Amino acid sequence: MKVPQPFPYQGSKRNLAPAILRYFPEGVATLVEPFAGSAAITLSAAAQGLAQEFVINDANKPLIELWQAIINSPEKLARQYESLWRAQQEDRRKFYDEVREEFNRTGKPDRLLYLLARCVKAAVRYNADGGFNQSPDNRRMGMAPQTMRENLLDLLRTAKDHGQTVVFSSHVLTEVETVCDRVAILTQGELKAEGKVNELVELYQQRNLEQVFLKIIGYHESHHDADRIRRAA
């Protein structure tokens, strides 16, 4: 069974999780993982449906804020990570130092995700002033953006596969089509369509959800009208 793991973290119980969970009791309502780090126990237990609710806890506030971003806006976080990952190409060490400095000023979750993907041994280190001071592993560029995106979205799929309702809002319809069972299409605040993905594709006689969306909002018609106006001018 594949367990999603969005970022590496020193001391993670990822490899130990199967052995630990063999002793997990039945009928657990809430699993609280203290000092969660990469939340390896929570993710493995969720993948097996061993509890109804999960609480991730850690004394590291920026880490918890990163988990909040992973849970609440994974698609946005994946885009932000990809932007950082691609921007590092010219001078990876200089770029890492700049991101680290910005993270220490702002605490932005996407910056922490990038630092965790690049730092030595995935080890979190802070100085006496509370600033992240771990050096980069110059041999690695960090997790590839597509792999990171898949890992982040796999968290949603894990929850969905075990009967939990996840509300996922995105303009990237290829990802919506992959993750969601049911969709609602809104334009200018008005609900235009709602239903299962395959039913909407069949109803509107299109190949995929993106084409359904374009047909619903009248993209092709307005596009052709604009072409006719330009030709007339």
Residue 230 pLDDT: 43
Q: What is the b/e burial string over 112-142, where b = at least 16 CB atoms within 10 angstroms of the residue's CB?
A: bbbbbbbbeebebeeeeeeebebebbeeeeb
d(CA 37, CA 50): 20
The reply to whether 60 falls in a domain is yes
Specify whether 142 is located in the same domain as 197.
Answer: no
Specify whether 71 is located in the same domain as 28.
Answer: yes
193 with 179: CB under 8 angstroms? no
Q: In the chain, pLDDT over 90 holds for what percent of residues?
A: 33
| pLDDT one-digit tens code per residue, 150-207 | 888 887 676 666 555 555 566 667 767 766 778 888 888 888 898 988 888 999 998 8
| pLDDT one-digit tens code per residue, 207-221 | 888 888 988 888 654
pLDDT beyond 70 at 40: yes
Band of pLDDT at residue 106, cut at 50, 70 and 90: very high
The reply to whether 165 falls in a domain is no
Provide the number of structural domains found in the chain. Answer: 2
The reply to whether 44 falls in a domain is yes
The reply to whether 6 falls in a domain is no
pLDDT beyond 50 at 34: yes
The reply to whether 23 falls in a domain is yes
Neighbour-count burial of 82, counting CB atoms closer than 10 A to its CB (0-12 exposed, 13-18 middle, 19+ buried): middle
d(CA 185, CA 126): 45
Specify whether 76 is located in the same domain as 34.
Answer: yes
CATH number of the domain to which 108 belongs: 1.10.1020.10
Band of pLDDT at residue 227, cut at 50, 70 and 90: very low
Structure tokens at 28: 């657990």
Asked which of 51-60, 111-120, 165-174 is least confident by mean pLDDT, the reply is: 165-174
d(CA 138, CA 96): 10
The reply to whether 2 falls in a domain is no
Residue 175 pLDDT: 66
In 3D, which of 79, 65, 64, 66 has the Cα closest to residue 170? 79
Interior CA angle at 10 toward 9 and 16, to 5°?
90
Specify whether 64 is located in the same domain as 130.
Answer: yes
Specify whether 25 is located in the same domain as 140.
Answer: yes
CA dihedral 27, 58, 83, 147 (to 10 degrees): -40
What residues make up the domain containing 215?
173-233
Mean pLDDT (whole number) for 19-41 = 90
Higher confidence at residue 107 or residue 183? 107
Q: Which of 147, 164, 183 is at the close of a domain? A: 147
Residue 221 pLDDT: 47
Specify whether 40 is located in the same domain as 129.
Answer: yes
Residue 169 pLDDT: 62
Specify whether 88 is located in the same domain as 187.
Answer: no
The reply to whether 120 falls in a domain is yes
Specify whether 65 is located in the same domain as 133.
Answer: yes
Specify whether 119 is located in the same domain as 229.
Answer: no
The reply to whether 109 falls in a domain is yes
Asked which of 57-66, 89-98, 113-122 is least confident by mean pLDDT, the reply is: 57-66
Residue 48 pLDDT: 87
Specify whether 114 is located in the same domain as 25.
Answer: yes
**pTM of structure:** 0.72
In 3D, which of 130, 173, 175 has the Cα closest to residue 152? 175
Specify whether 42 is located in the same domain as 128.
Answer: yes
Residue 7 pLDDT: 85
